[in-house]
Structure 1
Amino acid sequence: MAQNGARGVQSVERALEILELITDVGGEVTLSELSAHTDLPLPTIHRLLRTLVGRGYARQLPNRRYSLGAKLIRLGEVAGSQLGGAATPYLKEIVDTLDETANMAILESDMVVYIAQVPSKHSMRMFTEVGHRAHLHDTGVGKAILGELDDAEVRRIVERTGMPTPTPKSLGTIDALLDELARVRERGYSIDEEEQELGVRCFSMIVPDAPTPMAISVSGPVSRVDDTFAERAVPTLRDAAAKISKTLAQQG
């Protein structure tokens, strides 16, 4: 099997590059599009895709385009569960400090997927099921992740997913989103101002140097999650994000 110096097995690296390219363009791509985004010869791309399709990691659609395969779902679920497990002790620290629900989510195919949660003890609390997928533009974790991307990539994501508005306060235009992301980058955290659910406010922060884009959040009813709450929430989130980052680095 071909080797690529000290880096590893070349054929494996090329197959992973193909999967990453399919992911980066939204999960569906043609052979010519793959060829335009990589230095690999077209016969090599075709051979790698044939192998990936045969193993279930990619699939060919009726329109001859290629997409990610169902076998990746199980891998993603297990990986997400492991990441969520590593973060759960620090999400619990957030809840113990702020007494509101804490979540962690990762970027997956232009959406955020919640992979861990520690609920508040309040009877009236925010609840998002682990495994739930949501748009990036109308969630605190989503906007925290988008804040790490450049505006051109944000535009490409929105072109692929659209901008549904689940509440009257949701951002509905790309210009409004880019303005909001400029504020996210300046502050270092994002705020979901009842954009996903009326009556619920959320503060979120990116986990630095994570193996995949991820963010943590704390959320609750606007009656409790107010400006005074924000003064405590931001440093608490920053501390938890740093601890999660360090833990993931040690595990890697």
Structure 2
Amino acid sequence: MQRRNFIKTTAVAGAALALPPFVYPQSDIEYSIEELMGKADIELFGEGINLREEAYKSYQAMKKAAYSDGFNIKMISSYRDFYRQEGIWERKYLRFTEDDGMQPLDAIDKIIEYSTIPGTSRHHWGTDIDIIDGYPKVNGDVLVPEKFEAGGPFEAFKKWLDENSERFGFYLVYTDEPKRRGFKYEPWHYSYAPISIPMLTAFRKKNILKLLQNEDFIGCEHFTTGFLRSYIQDNILDINPKLL
């Protein structure tokens, strides 16, 4: 189970609205396979927030700035370890194959529209967040693109994020760029670039294909080498280029 430290929000007051542009130096931090795949015991900060310390502080600064402009950033999801992602994957796979009668490969294609293969989620890193504006009253699933678009309850919040999130180091991951492949557009998913960029760089240096072939969870027996290569190229790497 991951460790959590809780930092008081008052510690980030002050320069929240005047953060300088971020510079991303080459990181000399070593990240283990277990850490990159969500199997390590990492230190997380903030009750109900669960981010690495630096990402947590920047998130709190962004939340404070948004609040001043009339938005209440609400965390929907942040850190998820390998085993929680495995549970999400397996529940979806069984629902699609057993309840909906889909063929295994069709079920896998359906899952990876929005959900990652366990061990490859950016949420394993303690850098990525799914967020909404907590003020509007919303029915049903809040994490659907239409609710962030024109006429949707989060339209104004999305515009605020477009104009401000990068000042705090948070970048949209899965953009609406028409030529982008892989996961579908997720206007709610942001990544803290100063940490996630070096973590992705470290992950790319590993033999991801072999790592996934060594896993054992429901549905993975249908992964072919070709499928995994495409998944790595399209789903892991075809993201906002500012995060590469």
TM-score by length of 2: 0.26
> Which structure carries more relative contact order (alpha carbon 8 Å, separation 6+)?
2
Larger Rg, first or second structure (1 or 2): 1
Bigger proportion of residues as strand: 1
